[in-house]
Amino acid sequence: MTFDYDLFVIGGGSGGLAASKRAASYGAKVAIAETDLVGGTCVIRGCVPKKLMVYGSHFLSLFEDAAGYGWTVDHPRLDWEHFITSIDKEVRRLSQLHISLLEKAGVELIPGYATLLDPHTIEINDRKITADKILIAVGGRPSKPDLPGMEYGITSNEMFHLKTQPKHIAIIGAGYIGTEFAGIMRGLGSEVTHIVRNHLILQGFDQDIRTDIQAGMSNHGIKIVPNTEVTAIEKLPEGLRLKLSGEHEEAVIADVCLVATGRYPNVEGLGLQNAGVDVVPSSVEEPGYCTTCAIAVNEYSQTNQPNIFAVGDVTDRLNLTPVAIGEGRAFADSEFGNQRRQFSHETVPTAIFSTPQAATVGMTETQAREKLGDAVTIYRTRFRPMYHSLTGKQERIMMKLVVDANTDKVLGAHMVGEDAAEIIQGVAIAVKMGATKQDFDATVGIHPSAAEEFVTMR
């Protein structure tokens, strides 16, 4: 059978872009469909604009720190409109860059919403297209609890387009997004109330990361309300009133409410049922909170339909941009490059661009003890960074190594503090290669630096 394309990619985000360009480099005829700006969540409404906001949120603190070093900085003021407009301009520049890279690679971009009609046919803009192989890389979308008044809350999508800076923002949700925006908005000068369903933020991370970030957030003036749930949002003339239940029941009134309670795989409207593509069954976590179906795939990102594949957040395996890129390239190598391979989801480093920042790679202490029992040795240090010896601020850094006591292999590395992501990226190479604690000890530290503590812990 003759097809219009060797590969049709649905979704112009990180995974889809990586896969389409790699497949085209092998000589495949490739098209990619995108209904929004090209670049996906990361470029358009995720890591890139968020990181720019993180950078912007640190300047007020730097102005304050400068006084400890003898500088005089008078009355710093944020121009919110300039800030938001500049970020949007950069996002659009990057989107255009991705379009030009697709053109250079020979990938045809088809703007519009693509729907599967059968395992080899896609409909887009009333046009029917056939493809030998189809890759679904549509990512995820923000979720909101099914609770009264949630329509008044905004998601991370809208955070980058607020017309004015909120004086007081309430944040629901204690994952990456909620934790990061709490630090961003507090650093920009807004009052922040962070409502957390559990005792600690960032469930699933190493316990020391969770406790040290939360303590640091409180130290920076973020009001954390633990063991508490929002039951409803009511719109009043003075703002949004959040009704609470649990450990704290006093209502919170804020200008803006960010709902950061997770993300859904973006499967609605894809026509998966038309192509017979299986999904992972949905499950309800708590009243008002649920997860929807993700596309089921094997280790080669292949669905139950042998010619249909899926990568990235729509599969809900490990929702990180570099993972989607890696999955996309592994798919293209396997299917078009005669290099059949799997993408490893083991020992993937990640960072939380919170304030304070954190990064991690490998096993948490809990995971290691569940696997090895008492045969785990923990090396941990906490200290005040040299930078703050003159600022007077009570900032702390935490570094931690999780080590297999039987083999001396470093199973995990964790850090909370400034430049954690930059430092852990290098440490991740050693952990991925199977370095031992002795290897760390034999490495000469760079002095004076915070990073040297990873090779001097005893």
3-state percent breakdown (helix, strand, coil) of the chain, nearest 5: 35, 30, 40
Show the CA angle centred on residue 290, arms to residues 289 and 292, nearest 5°.
Answer: 155
Burial of 252 (0-12, 13-18, 19+ CB in 10 A): buried
| 11 contacts: CB under 8 Å, gap ≥ 6 | 32, 33, 34, 40, 136, 137, 138, 139, 312, 314
SS3 category, 313:
helix
* SS3 per residue for 34-63: ECCCCCHHHHHHCHHHHHHHHHHHCHHHHH
- Chain centroid offset of residue 216 CA: 20
Distance CA 134, CA 41 (A): 21
Question: Is residue 447 annotated as a catalytic residue, yes or no?
Answer: yes
Angle of helix 47-57 versus helix 59-68 axis, rounded to 10: 30
Q: Which of 405, 198, 160 has the alpha carbon at shortest distance from 286?
A: 198
Other C-beta atoms lying within 10 Å of the C-beta of residue 284: 9
| 93 contacts: CB under 8 Å, gap ≥ 6 | none
Q: Which of 224, 232, 251, 250 has the alpha carbon at shortest distance from 144?
A: 232
Residue tagged active-site, from 58, 194, 388, 447:
447
Per-residue CA distances from 375 to 15, 32, 165, 370 (Å):
39, 50, 51, 10
User: How long, in residues, is the chain?
Assistant: 458
| 70 contacts: CB under 8 Å, gap ≥ 6 | none
Q: Which of 207, 190, 189, 185 has the alpha carbon at shortest distance from 198?
A: 207
Upstream peptide bond of 356 is cis (omega within 30 degrees of 0): yes
Q: Any idea which residues carry the catalytic annotation? A: 447
